[in-house]
Amino acid sequence: MSEAATVSRKADFPGLVTRTGEPWHYLDTAATAQKPRAVIDAMAQALGEDYATVHRGVYSRSAEMTLGYEAARRRVADFVGAKSDSEIVFVRGATEAINLVAATWGTANIREGDRIVLSTLEHHSNIVPWQMLAEKTGAVIDVCPLTEDHCIDLDALAGLLTSRTRLVSLAHISNVLGSVLDVRRAADLAHSVGAKLLVDGCQAAPRMALDMAALDCDFYAFSAHKLYGPTGIGVLWAREEILQDMPPWQGGGAMIDKVAFDGTTYAPAPQRFEAGTPMITEAIALHAAIDYVAEHGTERLLEHERRLAGTLRDQLRSLNSVTLFGPEDSAGIVSFALQGVHPHDLGTILDEENVAIRAGHHCAQPLMEHLGVPATARASFGLYSDESDIAALMRGIERTQRIFG
């Protein structure tokens, strides 16, 4: 991947320049990605000259916007390798997608004494909804440990599964460690005991080619804002036969067939799960984001980000005061601790150098406890990242070391 190609990517992102015109070295893409001009322009046009509601209006602009909105659903279906666009539910984000599954499929299928399996590295959004469901139903949560190199231990998962296991819910890529799950093996293990597999794909969707048939999971969730799209919209993919059997979650307009005071009937999936006026402009912008990512190729992006993560790990390893976390083949995410310096202090000093990292527990407090630290510093790469960002980060770390001497 040439330096020229990387620079051209930076030029596509107006957010990568400070207000004074200096380069901004953005290394927090795992939290949220910067937006390319193509996405910004698509959303501006949808909010402006193209704007109208969808599914309801008989006037031409509403009909055109409805076509655009449903085209976005078809684009997402193609992007993830869905069997049909009926398997795509638009939600506010991955958090809402997981809560939706817990509140609908979970309430209908999880009973007292049933077991739900999570892993040590899960984001809070893939822990708390299942705890709430377990408290409601009397189910039990089992926690799958990690391997020595901080990957989900699928051999241990096999030993945890029982005939009472109803659901396994795991991250495709850890938002802290960058470790990648073998989803197909996890699916085979879950299905061997009749359980379903939900995958948190927030970190995978922006950098890996997705094929639901090949992965063979049952639910897959991701957020648009990590995929170079807007906030406020995400995707739940689920097998069509599962979606059709799930009861509705939120009630209101658009999710109904017929409403009467003596009873209401509901629309089929996915409309059944999209109550109220949907995220119209956000869906249009998500379509543009997927087109932008597809233009560059997800496999190339994964290779690019893995290379940068490897380079950064090598440079950090040369500093005796740094502890690295996660596997060597991290998917574009590097978490580390600098001896004698709290991650928040490091992040503050780096900000003075126009370098943005994330410092904290990254919504993964059980993982921090496992790692034996209160927080880590995390640098995460995107398609716009290059070696200049690593150089700026290392300069900032060296300055921090001098300050804390």
Q: Per DSSP, which regions of 16-85 are E strands?
A: 25-26
- In the predicted model, is pLDDT for residue 399 greater than 70? yes
Residue 201 lies in a domain: yes
What was the pLDDT predicted at 112? Answer: 98
pLDDT band per the 50, 70, 90 thresholds, residue 7? very low
Say whether both 280 and 335 belong to one domain.
no
d(CA 73, CA 30): 24
pLDDT band per the 50, 70, 90 thresholds, residue 375? very high
Mean pLDDT of 309-334: 96
- Choose among 181, 386, 379: nearest CA to 304: 386
What was the pLDDT predicted at 171? Answer: 98
Residue 339 lies in a domain: yes
Two tokens, residue 166: 């109803």
Nearest 5 degrees, angle CA 55-CA 60-CA 65? 50
Say whether both 351 and 307 belong to one domain.
yes
pLDDT digits (tens, 9 = 90+) for 176-213: 999 999 999 999 999 999 999 999 999 999 999 999 99
The DSSP secondary-structure symbol of 102 reads I
- Choose among 220, 175, 198, 177: nearest CA to 32: 175
Residue 167 lies in a domain: yes
Say whether both 227 and 138 belong to one domain.
yes
Query: How many distinct helices (H) and strands (E) make up the chain?
Result: 15, 15
Residue 37 lies in a domain: no
pLDDT digits (tens, 9 = 90+) for 334-347: 999 999 999 999 99
Say whether both 323 and 372 belong to one domain.
yes
Mean pLDDT of 34-53: 97
Strand pairing class (333-338; 322-325): antiparallel
Say whether both 99 and 168 belong to one domain.
yes
What was the pLDDT predicted at 285? Answer: 98
Residue 35 lies in a domain: no
pLDDT digits (tens, 9 = 90+) for 118-171: 999 999 999 999 999 999 999 999 999 999 999 999 999 999 999 999 999 999
- In the predicted model, is pLDDT for residue 1 greater than 90? no
Final residue in a domain of this structure, among 236, 268, 294: 294
pLDDT digits (tens, 9 = 90+) for 285-300: 999 999 999 999 988 9
**With the C-alpha atoms ordered 385, 388, 390, 395, is the resulting torsion angle positive or negative?**
negative
Two tokens, residue 78: 């193609």
d(CA 266, CA 311): 53
What was the pLDDT predicted at 47? Answer: 97
d(CA 362, CA 206): 18
Say whether both 329 and 342 belong to one domain.
yes
d(CA 6, CA 304): 10
Beta bridge partners of 144: 119
Say whether both 301 and 288 belong to one domain.
no
Classify each residue of 229-242 as buried b or exposed e, where b means 16 or more C-beta atoms within 10 Å of its C-beta.
bbbbbbbbbbbbeb
Say whether both 347 and 211 belong to one domain.
no
Final residue in a domain of this structure, among 251, 276, 294: 294
Backbone angles phi, psi at 268, to 5 degrees: -70, 165
Q: Percent of the chain, pLDDT > 70?
A: 98
- In the predicted model, is pLDDT for residue 71 greater than 80? yes
97 lies in which domain range?
43-294
Q: Percent of the chain, pLDDT > 90?
A: 96
Q: Please list, in sequence order, all residues whose beta carbon lies within 8 angstroms of the beta carbon of residue 48, skipping any fewer than 6 positions away.
A: none
Contact between 15 and 366 under an 8 Å Cβ cutoff? The reply is no
349: left (phi over 0), alpha (psi -120 to 50) or beta: alpha
Final residue in a domain of this structure, among 260, 294, 328: 294
CATH code (residue 339): 3.90.1150.10
Contact between 236 and 221 under an 8 Å Cβ cutoff? The reply is yes
The total number of residues shown for the chain amounts to: 405
Say whether both 131 and 267 belong to one domain.
yes
Helix (H) or strand (E) holding 299: helix 298-317
Say whether both 188 and 243 belong to one domain.
yes
How many domains is the chain partitioned into structurally? 2
The per-residue pLDDT of the chain, averaged, comes to 95
Mean pLDDT of 229-251: 97
Residue 148 lies in a domain: yes
Residue 36 lies in a domain: no
Residues that are catalytic: 363
Two tokens, residue 254: 């658009």
What was the pLDDT predicted at 405? Answer: 75
Coil/strand/helix, residue 349:
helix
Say whether both 107 and 82 belong to one domain.
yes
CATH code (residue 235): 3.40.640.10
Residue 38 lies in a domain: no
What was the pLDDT predicted at 8? Answer: 52
**205 exposure class (CB count in 10 Å sphere: 0-12, 13-18, 19+):** buried
Say whether both 57 and 22 belong to one domain.
no
Beta bridge partners of 168: 117, 197
Nearest 5 degrees, angle CA 391-CA 395-CA 397? 115
- In the predicted model, is pLDDT for residue 3 greater than 50? no
What was the pLDDT predicted at 5? Answer: 47
